[in-house]
Amino acid sequence: MLNKEQYLTPREIVAELDKYIIGQNNAKRNVAIALRNRWRRMNVKSEMRGEIVPNNILMIGATGVGKTEIARRLARIANAPFTKVEASKFTEVGYVGRDVESMVRDLVEQSVNLVKSEKKEEVKVRAEQIVEDLILDALIPPMKNMPAESTATLAANDTQPQNDQELNEKTRERFREKIRNGELEDRKIEISVKQPTGGGIGMVGGGMMDESSMINLQEMIGNMMPKKVKKRKVTIAEARKILLEEETSRLIDMDEVKELAIKKAENTGVIFIDEIDKIAAGSSKKGGPDVSREGVQRDLLPIVEGSTVNTKYGHIKTDHILFVAAGAFHVAKPSDLIPELQGRFPIRVELQNLTKEDFFHILKEPKNALTKQYESLLGAEDVELTFREEALDEIAETAFHINTEVENIGARRLHTVMSQLLNEFLFDVPDKIGPNAKITITRAMVQDKLQSLVTNRDLSEYIL
């Protein structure tokens, strides 16, 4: 069962999303409820737990209004495996039905990485102790591996202990202290490093096997082949990184990781299917492509309904994975999807187009706001960048105007506008604008720098 304290309430989830996403309160509320329902289902104490299915969500809204960001942030809040796929890629030339299952395999891969990271943290202290001993052995081999005269040479300045064993131990402890204090970071030592096995193993008649079987067979043959070990001379700082990675991987039980990862993906995984409107029948009036689009929908259906997919880590059931689909639906309508697929996305959320006020708040409030990103970038050069309120208002007005006149790409327009505004400063630092300089962005400066974007429509049409 999941610990209640580890799961946020719906209000707390919305509050977390508010730190990064402006507006779209209806969408935030729905995804918050869907996430909290995960904890509720896992804590149901009867056989009803297996019957409770997630309420998959269909987000409808123009590009750049926050659909993907909501789903991605949701997965981060829940510390859940997350993968994104564009539904339109399954209509490309060479599409094969089973390729749809690749998004589930990607989800499991993400889940394995998450669990592996957690396990690495658990064994980190133990691994660091082992690595310290390995580095010490490379510097001062233990007495049984090292001639007495070598030990005596390394400790020539020490007072003579009673015997060689004591001399070796004393020397090792003195060097252990130096390693811990970081005094020997640049000293070079020779270590043994395991080399990865060669590239993919070719298979005759590989087309007869599916992707998962090929991966499993290649991995099995790779494990049977002897591991190559290579001697490398590196600094102690580099050796610590290399050896720590090897030791943490060795201390982790990969069978346990795979088992936990499958469970994590099955019960908390989030799959975001973008551009689902591109596979709706109404997105094209030509006969051929429509057949392909409907075929993709029918291939997606069993995965969203709940099926078992074979991965290189084992079988995974998709019954309780949360699917979030999104699309602009400018041409097609949600009703153009096949009825069975529509029924698997019962929660419909319409995201609103961004207003000028939304752009202003996006520039100012989120923890990862573009203004804060550029302030940090120039701060790395000891240059202080500040934006006046009037300047932010003008930037928001410009972005909104270009979206209205050219093409509405939502908040992504701000990236273009900010780049055009600050490129000259970014180029001049640090050659012309040195450390401790202060740059203040004013309304007049914004109008001057962005005038070409607003007045030259031909140029603006080429700007994404």
Question: Average per-residue pLDDT in the chain?
Answer: 83
- Averaged over 391-397, what is the pLDDT? 95
| Confidence (pLDDT) at 369 | 94
Tokens standing for residue 124? 């980190």
pLDDT digits (tens, 9 = 90+) for 233-244: 889 889 899 999
pLDDT band at 146 (very low <50, low <70, confident <90, very high): low
Cα–Cα distances (Å) from 276 to 48, 214, 219, in that order, read: 31, 29, 34
| Confidence (pLDDT) at 4 | 47
Say which residue the tokens 């003195």 belong to.
174
| Confidence (pLDDT) at 163 | 67
Same domain, yes or no: 360 and 346: no
pLDDT at residue 424 above 90?
yes
Same domain, yes or no: 217 and 136: yes
pLDDT at residue 214 above 90?
no
- What is the amino acid identity at position 142? P
pLDDT band at 388 (very low <50, low <70, confident <90, very high): very high
pLDDT at residue 149 above 60?
no
Same domain, yes or no: 277 and 162: no
Nearest CA to 140 out of 165, 169, 172 is that of: 172
Same domain, yes or no: 383 and 343: no
* Residue where a domain stops, chosen among 305, 330, 350: 350
What is the number of domains present in the chain?
Answer: 3
pLDDT digits (tens, 9 = 90+) for 433-463: 989 999 999 999 999 988 877 666 555 444 5
Same domain, yes or no: 103 and 188: no
Q: Are 338 and 287 in contact (CB under 8 A)?
A: no
pLDDT band at 207 (very low <50, low <70, confident <90, very high): very low
pLDDT band at 98 (very low <50, low <70, confident <90, very high): low
Distance of CA 277 to the CA centre of its chain: 25
State the Cα–Cα distance between residues 48 and 235, nearest whole angstrom. Answer: 58
| Confidence (pLDDT) at 161 | 47
Residue 459 lies in a domain: no
Same domain, yes or no: 222 and 243: yes
Mean pLDDT lowest among 124-138, 153-167, 222-236: 153-167
| Confidence (pLDDT) at 325 | 94
User: In this structure, is the dihedral angle defined by the CA atoms of residues 127, 133, 137 and 138, taken in order, positive or negative?
Assistant: positive
Same domain, yes or no: 249 and 131: yes
State the Cα–Cα distance between residues 75 and 234, nearest whole angstrom. Answer: 39
pLDDT at residue 221 above 90?
no
Residue 52: is it exposed, middle or buried by C-beta count within 10 angstroms (0-12/13-18/19+)?
A: middle
Residue 116 lies in a domain: no
pLDDT at residue 81 above 80?
yes
Residue 200: is it exposed, middle or buried by C-beta count within 10 angstroms (0-12/13-18/19+)?
A: exposed
Across 2-6, 78-82, 149-153, the highest mean pLDDT is recorded for 78-82
Q: Are strands 270-274 and 322-327 parallel, antiparallel or unpaired?
A: parallel
| Confidence (pLDDT) at 165 | 76
pLDDT at residue 296 above 70?
yes
- Averaged over 418-422, what is the pLDDT? 93
| Confidence (pLDDT) at 25 | 92
Residue 460 lies in a domain: no
Same domain, yes or no: 169 and 211: yes
pLDDT at residue 72 above 80?
yes
Same domain, yes or no: 315 and 279: yes
Same domain, yes or no: 72 and 189: no
Mean pLDDT lowest among 6-10, 26-30, 139-143, 369-373: 139-143
Residue 462 lies in a domain: no
Residue 197 lies in a domain: yes
| Confidence (pLDDT) at 153 | 53
Residue 458 lies in a domain: no
| Confidence (pLDDT) at 407 | 82
Residue 282 lies in a domain: yes
Q: Are 101 and 309 in contact (CB under 8 A)?
A: yes
Q: Are 167 and 158 in contact (CB under 8 A)?
A: yes
| Confidence (pLDDT) at 38 | 86
Residue 442 structural domain: 356-453
* Residue where a domain stops, chosen among 350, 379, 397: 350
- Averaged over 282-291, what is the pLDDT? 53
Residue 300: is it exposed, middle or buried by C-beta count within 10 angstroms (0-12/13-18/19+)?
A: buried
Same domain, yes or no: 149 and 250: yes
CATH code for position 428: 1.10.8.60
State the Cα–Cα distance between residues 358 and 369, nearest whole angstrom. Answer: 12
Q: Are 178 and 187 in contact (CB under 8 A)?
A: no
- Averaged over 30-51, what is the pLDDT? 88
Nearest CA to 264 out of 56, 120, 118 is that of: 118
Measured in degrees and rounded to the nearest 5, phi and psi for residue 396 equal: -65, -45
State the Cα–Cα distance between residues 373 and 438, nearest whole angstrom. Answer: 16
| Confidence (pLDDT) at 226 | 65
Residue 464 lies in a domain: no
Mean pLDDT lowest among 37-41, 111-115, 203-207: 203-207
Percent of the chain with pLDDT over 90: 47
| Confidence (pLDDT) at 457 | 52
Nearest CA to 277 out of 23, 30, 91, 24 is that of: 91
CATH code for position 88: 3.40.50.300
Q: Which residues contact 315 (CB under 8 A, 6 or more apart)?
A: 262, 308, 309
| Confidence (pLDDT) at 310 | 92
Same domain, yes or no: 373 and 433: yes
pLDDT at residue 266 above 70?
yes
* Residue where a domain stops, chosen among 280, 315, 350: 350
